[in-house]
Amino acid sequence: MIQINNISKVYGENTVLSIPELTIQKGECLGLVGNNGAGKTTLFNSLLDLIKPTTGTISNKGIEVHKSEDWKQFTGSFIDETFLIEYLTPNEYFDFIAGIRNVSKGDLENLLNSFSEFFNEEILGAKKYLRDLSKGNQKKVGIVASLIGNPEVIILDEPFANLDPTTQIRLKNMLQKLVEDKDITLLISSHDLGHVTDVCNRIVVLEKGEVIKDIITSESTLKELETIFAV
């Protein structure tokens, strides 16, 4: 589904990303973990053509992301609040994304209603602009907006950050159900080793821009990750 070949990103004399090869299969749920500065967001930004790598190619469903925008038709993502349009309300923003993805009002309403528990009565119908919402509520809007249009690939950077414990658990259950019910390729970066291990069937560990571990999730994965980061 996603093929990464000889990707690097260099700023001056500092190499922040260097991945010779990484393949993510269709239907796989991959968790990307690493300390601050490990290169997680740089990799996701490269996957979404938000930054241009210094070397290498990235293909999404056979489409080179830096040469064509066709991959955007089946890819949803949320990196941070800069993805939002701050002067819109949540409902206006959902309508905007639905329009881009040719989703009917009825289908959009059904999707949003299915996340009523996740929204916790704080999003739908809110009179506030997105810029005036808390970081956690902005994240809720961005995550659900990334699901509009039934994308085949979903990329979420630190989805559990800034969420209260109850919402983190709801999000974890939501992502698990999403992976189980649909043939979706899901990429998540997170500092929360427990949540990402629960959700993902494969974990890739980045350190200083390089892949140092590529693990198929098992009962021992969380302990293995804790050992890696305890050093």
pLDDT band at 221 (very low <50, low <70, confident <90, very high): very high
Looking at residue 16, what is its pLDDT?
94
**Tokens 């959009």 belong to which residue?**
108
CA–CA separation, 64 vs 83, rounded Å? 22
Looking at residue 13, what is its pLDDT?
87
CA distances, 72 to each of 58, 102, 151, 169, 192 (Å): 14, 13, 9, 29, 28
Which domains does the chain show, CATH number per domain?
Answer: 2-83+152-230 (3.40.50.300)
Looking at residue 121, what is its pLDDT?
83
Q: What is the mean pLDDT of the chain?
A: 92
Range 221-231 average pLDDT: 89
pLDDT digits (tens, 9 = 90+) for 95-139: 999 999 999 999 999 999 999 888 988 898 888 999 999 999 999
The H-or-E segment that residue 38 falls in is: none
**Tokens 């994965």 belong to which residue?**
221
pLDDT digits (tens, 9 = 90+) for 2-60: 999 999 999 988 999 999 999 999 999 999 999 998 999 999 999 999 999 999 999 99
CA–CA separation, 83 vs 110, rounded Å? 23
Model confidence, pTM: 0.93
Closest CA to 200 of 214, 186, 183, 211: 186
**Tokens 């979903």 belong to which residue?**
154
**Tokens 């996603």 belong to which residue?**
2
**Tokens 């999403």 belong to which residue?**
178
Task: Provide the strand spans (E) within the chain.
Answer: 2-11, 14-24, 29-33, 55-60, 63-64, 75-78, 153-157, 185-189, 202-207, 210-216
